[in-house]
Structure 1
């Protein structure tokens, strides 16, 4: 029976309090800008009342049979208000952008920064698609709501207050007549919030599942085709898409009912205003101009009220996305222990290196069975340990555990006697290089300085020389300044791997873990990469997951993995003489290797 192992937690969703605390942090130091934005919006809303007032005055002038000169005042009022509204509207837009856009940029940076630091298990538990949907779709929802819905919300609220104040200034009975619409609007909003909130929250989760299914289908396409699993994966993608669309349909149906009820509120309120206006004019308590102005004031409330209530639709979606984004930022790595006397050179290692050890380690992916069973090994300072085994024996899983990228389900991985976890990995002490190398957008030098941001040109060149990359880098159009990755100058798999090794050289870690780090190269580049890897591990502790036995024969010790268990341990000569799995692997490799491979 498989031993129990720790289950990584899904990426969290922030609570309302966490979201409020984060927003206060984002807006800290921006209160003056916020006040200026609200003041500009308030002025714009007040100026919008000039239109109904001018039309009411013009209507009364017609009713009183005045001369055309009486229209000069209302027309001048309209023109002046339009110019002033344009100026205040421009100011409000600019101030709102300066308030919102930096905050959104900070949110995106915090989310991405935290994502980069997340342990591999946390990402895999929630699904890569969920993570992608958070830092893409959720960020877009929050950004759109903050730049559009926030301004609409504040502007609409101020317009409503201004219009109600205008109604009361004309006659308090006009303001009272507008009140029957309020219970309908309040009840509609309450129903909509209660109905739509769970729909949008579940919809964002469903969208993450759809993204995860799509990513799985794209990234594993060759395997799916080889195993004839394309149809089943397509069915999973279709089911995830249908589930996501169902939430979209439910949200649309709720929004349709929401706006339909708002139309009923408009009809009720305007009918009451017209009835009161009729009675007041008939009794001589108000003139036609005032009645016209009151009716236009209330009609002018339609758009801001609908915008104010309708903006909750965007706010609901953005709120669900914001909780997911802030949830990412709540996953904070523990503070890394200080490096032992790093000295003036940030890349210099301490004179005495601690050992790296695994003790009775067990590990399984998610709810599945364990793939490592009681693995124990020790890498002494300066020792080179090779790990060999057939495909699926657990070599790469063991490498990720030793690098601190995953946490064991049982047992422990220690570095210098202290438990090593994905969240307290000592900086610059352990580096993992795999065969899956990514070339970042930027120059060759930029790619290398990821290992040490302050590295000078001489250090860059020394790192390239150490891994044998100087010749082809010098042959590039701009040497180490040549743009690569993301549409830049293309590199071969071997060249990309050399850059990865040079980057680690600059990092100068205590322990290097090479997980088949030279396996992607063709036969022409194999020898060069093996020499580069050998130069990298010289003088430091190393764990080499071997693809070619040229990397194994000179190792200080060799561990043989079979089905997640250590079945043999010793030197090359000892294991060859003992027979068993290692001797079989050696014979198979020796008979099948190219004639020119040492």
Structure 2
């Protein structure tokens, strides 16, 4: 078949994008089998109820076929009253069980969809933080929103309806063969047309739908990035470039949309030809067989009616197969999170002490491109270290390695002699905590937002944590205190207050080592300085690694590490580095004008 060519995809246009993996066929099949295993009882009930409904629907053709045969045989007493009564009973049974089929199918679909959503959410929350940071928000949001929406119809309708249609078509085919075996040839003669069309379609559809989904994810990513960085784009006058990028992404996506639409425009007429061939074949072959006395008129009537009834289940199968092509891609994208390697660590790995050490560490976000180069750093217990340097030098990346968010490509990051990458995530979080520039206030009571850090904390401890970060004054003024609903749609907290909530969680978590990545960046200088002084009381005795552009933080630190181009160029106290007259001295001089 000749037609529309699939649109060209330019990998270079998205060469730096890192997305979550898409599951392979075996993973998807395994997950589907697991879903069916969980709901096998409901699935078997659905099949059983559907079988009764289909058998009841076949009573009518058999009764009509008998009447026609009786007329052909010259019978005078047709017993129409009994025939009509049997037909009415069968019709009532069919109506009742069809209703049961729809109800059972809808319930099964909703339960499977709920399982899928819960599995995806649980697995996504459990992904290593580094994986989520690299994937970004566009791909994750596209999976949570678009892919789940596409799967909703498949789970609610396609899976149950497909099961119903397969049972329906199988029973009807069996009825045709049992009633008039020669009429089975009509189905066989039409099958090659349908088979050829389906093979042609299903060879092209999966890749087309995958590319269509990836194209939409690229559109979502570009738009989300543009919105998030709107002020920066305006400041640098990048509007035209971002519009061109969005238009290119939309163009690629709509090209794949047109391609998949063209595939369907070929498949659907082929299905109609198949239906016509079945019915025409039954009538032509059946008529010939009747003339040759190989088949009775009653058998032909029943077979023709059953063949006509086959149009609907076969159409359902193919229609839902097309829907399942879209759903399969979305399912593969959702189940793809299961293919991310679990970074569970070894529960037996326990640090022997609090000494944090990085030895000859190399790390990069992209293959072949390192951000950190041969970084070595020793942080004794109780040390307050400041990481300073120009933007993009690698300070935050180094902080994330020291916090156990990332594992080094080469080299070692150890805590108490134990590799951070070998510990379980829970063990690392008990020892080391990261508070960065990003923060989030969850919709719910202020109490619940704080209990995320320690579920068994009392109200007195919650107030003490808020007081430690100078947040108790405004918190006590809330209408319902700790029970006040905060977050989107509730009491709106200011960015500085949201950051104080995040720092209060840190106080409650009580780790012995803290990595503060510009944790007070959203506060004005006076408030930030005041908060840092308050935190100083809380951080007493803990190891603190602070990443900041405000050099008063470095001035108060025991040790300062200057990070330049992914390397530590200077290491020492404030006075030592100022006296050395190097990069830090230049920064300090610039800071003080």
Name the residue aligned to 2:380: 380
Deviations 1:535-560 (A, max 9, x none): 44222111011343443333222222
Closer/same/farther in 2, CA of residues 339 and 271 from structure 1, 3 Å limit: closer
Residue 398 of structure 2 corresponds to residue 394 of structure 1:
no
Name the residue aligned to 2:226: 217
Q: How many Å separate the matches in 2 of 1:468 and 1:390?
A: 30
Closer/same/farther in 2, CA of residues 581 and 62 from structure 1, 3 Å limit: same
Residue 244 of structure 2 corresponds to residue 242 of structure 1:
no
Q: Secondary structure at the match of 1:414?
A: strand
Deviations 1:98-143 (A, max 9, x none): 4443333333333233333434553455554233323333333333
Question: Which of 193, 212, 220 pairs up with 1:184?
Answer: 193
Question: Which of 440, 446, 460 pairs up with 2:442?
Answer: 440
Name the residue aligned to 2:407: 407
Deviations 1:171-198 (A, max 9, x none): 3333333332222222322222223222
Name the residue aligned to 2:277: 268
Closer/same/farther in 2, CA of residues 357 and 493 from structure 1, 3 Å limit: same
Answer with 90-99 or 466-475: which moved more: 90-99
Closer/same/farther in 2, CA of residues 366 and 285 from structure 1, 3 Å limit: closer
Answer with 214-223 or 124-133: which moved more: 124-133
Closer/same/farther in 2, CA of residues 389 and 296 from structure 1, 3 Å limit: same
Question: Which of 37, 49, 52 pairs up with 1:28?
Answer: 37
Residue 174 of structure 2 corresponds to residue 165 of structure 1:
yes
Q: How many Å separate the matches in 2 of 1:529 and 1:189?
A: 67
Residue 42 of structure 2 corresponds to residue 11 of structure 1:
no
Contact 1:402 1:413 in 2 (8 A): yes
| TM-score of the two chains, using structure 1 as the length reference | 0.86
Q: Secondary structure at the match of 1:28?
A: helix
Q: How many Å separate the matches in 2 of 1:242 and 1:67?
A: 72
> Any residues of structure 2 matched to 1:559-598 within 5 Å, and which?
559-590=561-592
Name the residue aligned to 2:491: 489
Q: How many Å separate the matches in 2 of 1:431 and 1:99?
A: 43
Q: How many Å separate the matches in 2 of 1:590 and 1:151?
A: 71
Q: How many Å separate the matches in 1 of 2:183 and 2:372?
A: 78
Contact 1:153 1:307 in 2 (8 A): yes
Q: How many Å separate the matches in 2 of 1:288 and 1:143?
A: 47
1:423: how far off? 7.9
Q: How many Å separate the matches in 2 of 1:302 and 1:118?
A: 46
Q: Secondary structure at the match of 1:180?
A: helix
Q: Secondary structure at the match of 1:427?
A: helix
1:587: how far off? 4.0
Q: How many Å separate the matches in 2 of 1:483 and 1:463?
A: 19
Contact 1:333 1:424 in 2 (8 A): no
Residue 184 of structure 2 corresponds to residue 194 of structure 1:
no
Q: How many Å separate the matches in 2 of 1:569 and 1:171?
A: 92
Contact 1:466 1:536 in 2 (8 A): yes
Name the residue aligned to 1:129: 138
Contact 2:517 2:546 in 1 (8 A): yes
Closer/same/farther in 2, CA of residues 39 and 385 from structure 1, 3 Å limit: same
Q: How many Å separate the matches in 1 of 2:49 and 2:154?
A: 20
1:381: how far off? 0.9
Name the residue aligned to 2:305: 296
Closer/same/farther in 2, CA of residues 562 and 269 from structure 1, 3 Å limit: closer
> Any residues of structure 2 matched to 1:490-509 within 5 Å, and which?
490-509=492-511
| TM-score of the two chains, using structure 2 as the length reference | 0.87
Answer with 576-585 or 518-527: which moved more: 576-585
Name the residue aligned to 1:345: none
1:223: how far off? 1.9
Question: Which of 100, 107, 117 pairs up with 1:91?
Answer: 100
Aligned residues: 576
Deviations 1:566-597 (A, max 9, x none): 23222233333444333343344445xxxxxx
Q: Secondary structure at the match of 1:445?
A: helix
Q: Secondary structure at the match of 1:386?
A: strand
Name the residue aligned to 2:543: 541
Closer/same/farther in 2, CA of residues 198 and 49 from structure 1, 3 Å limit: same
Closer/same/farther in 2, CA of residues 148 and 68 from structure 1, 3 Å limit: farther
1:245: how far off? 1.8
Q: Secondary structure at the match of 2:555?
A: coil
Residue 457 of structure 2 corresponds to residue 455 of structure 1:
yes
Deviations 1:131-170 (A, max 9, x none): 3323333333333223211122111112212222333344
1:71: how far off? 5.2
Residue 325 of structure 2 corresponds to residue 316 of structure 1:
yes
Answer with 246-255 or 122-131: which moved more: 122-131
The CA RMSD over aligned residues, in Å, is: 3.2
Deviations 1:449-505 (A, max 9, x none): 111233332332222222222221121111111111121110011111111011111
Q: How many Å separate the matches in 1 of 2:480 and 2:64?
A: 69
Name the residue aligned to 1:251: 260
